[in-house]
A = this chain, B = another copy of it.
Amino acid sequence: MLRYMTAGESHGKGLVAILDGVPAGIKLDENFINGELARRMTGYGRGGRMRIESDKAEIISGSRKGITIGSPVAMLIENKDYKIEDLADIKCPRPGHADLAGMLKHGFSDARNVLERASARETAARVAAGAVAKILLRELGIEVAGHVTAIGSVKAAPGSLSVAQIRKSAETSDVRCADKKAAEAMKKEIDKAGEAGDTLGGAFEIVAEGVPPGLGSYAQWDKRMDGALARAVMSIPAVKAVSIGSGIECSSMKGSETHDPIGYDEKTGTFTRGSNNAGGIEGGLTNGAPVVVRGFMKPIATLGKPLASVDVDTGKKAKAAVERADVAAVPACAVVAEASVAIELASAFLDKFGRDSIGEMRRNYDAYMETLKER
């Protein structure tokens, strides 16, 4: 199992992640990790704060001479604007945030204590942890990529993309969308919403290629790969729906159109699939096809034109607090979801193939893949 915990507030000293279970023998590429953090900060529609941010993950532990040694990887991402001690209390909780429920839960008289942790800032730590998972997966021939499929009312052309297509077409787009025409329309919609003091949500797709069949388990409800992926992606702030493969579409299709036919390629000795509506997961197990997870993000809950709220001290109507000024953050959310998916896949990989060293994992993995050809 690959476990992780994060800590840190939005305007505190920084964010911390501890990732436990990282195999020995992996080159911990700090540049790659920081590149992932940079990817999280980009995207058309982000407000002022993001532009000046430039996150760097300092690796505190887990490696020697740049190579992991099997001990927990701890990373520290300093906050550039550490000022939590100076920030004022917030008396008007913002709809769409944890503000009010968090105050009630903890008995707080202001929302600042809530929103400092219940903030998308936390996802920087996840991205750092996910970057380590990606490095591990890459050593095993697994690549994870994500792209934006909708922002507001604009939808990209339907259909899953390959990792190569995502890298070529989406990664170069400032809304992380591979459909150029849609990308232009998305930006226009963002501009329009921004001018109106409004915000937008959207949808994204994460694709993992090179995943072997047999990760996860149907044997117990909490060992299923689909459940793990759903939890991981749903736990990203602002994500409100998760689909595996063409899950939503298939719910209105017929069985004969939905299920991916099984074939066999004599040359390679491997089973093939005629389609991938299952998104690479059947019965809670990866099936060898690309793993496809889609997420749906609600509009950002802090609006330029604030929403109706209440002053908790007086009970009188008031405008919700304004904390920052992004219009849309779907491209960033896709990066966080890549990280979340990578961690879950890596964790399931460890469960099947061991975790003590990358050499041992590869040996076990290769031997397994060899047996699959024998049938």
Contacts and interface: CB of A to CB of B under 8 A. Distances in A.
A287 B72 CA distance: 21
Nearest to A93: B262
A253 B286 CA distance: 33
A261 B64 CA distance: 28
Nearest to A122: B221
A76 B73 contact: no
Contact of A296 (B243, B284, B301, B309): B243
Given A18-B16, A235-B224, A74 B7 contact: yes
Contact of A285 (B6, B98, B232): B98
User: Taking the full assembly, how many copies of this chain does it contain?
Assistant: 4
A260 interface: yes
Contacts of A71: 7, 9, 116-117, 219
Nearest to A235: B227
A179 interface: no
A94 B256 CA distance: 12
A296 B254 contact: no
A58 to B, nearest CB: 8
Nearest to A117: B71
B262 A200 contact: no
Interface in A220-256: 220-222, 224, 226-235, 237, 239-248, 250-256
B231 A241 contact: no
A220 B312 CA distance: 26
Contacts of A201: 250-253, 255, 258
A47 interface: no
A101 B231 contact: no
Interface in A153-199: 153, 155, 193, 196, 198-199
B252 A6 contact: no
A91 to B, nearest CB: 11
Nearest to A288: B101
Interface stretch (A33-41, A49-57, A104-112, A135-143): A104-112
B303 A199 contact: no
A237 B12 CA distance: 33
Contact of A106 (B24, B116, B196, B228): B24
B368 A308 contact: no
Given A72-B220, A221-B126, A256-B305, A296 B247 contact: yes
Interface string A22-50: 00110000000000000000000000000
B252 A244 contact: no
Given A226-B239, A253-B298, 20 more contacts: A5-B5, A7-B18, A7-B73, A8-B61, A21-B219, A65-B85, A69-B113, A69-B114, A93-B262, A96-B278, A98-B283, A101-B213, A106-B357, A118-B284, A218-B237, A222-B235, A227-B234, A228-B231, A263-B317, A354-B354
27 contacts: A5-B5, A7-B18, A8-B74, A12-B64, A14-B60, A24-B113, A25-B106, A72-B220, A95-B261, A96-B259, A98-B218, A114-B283, A117-B218, A152-B252, A224-B234, A227-B232, A230-B230, A230-B233, A239-B247, A240-B248, A240-B251, A241-B247, A242-B243, A248-B296, A255-B301, A256-B303, A315-B375
A-B pairs with lowest CB-CB distance, top 8: A98-B283, A240-B247, A105-B214, A199-B255, A96-B259, A227-B235, A241-B247, A255-B299
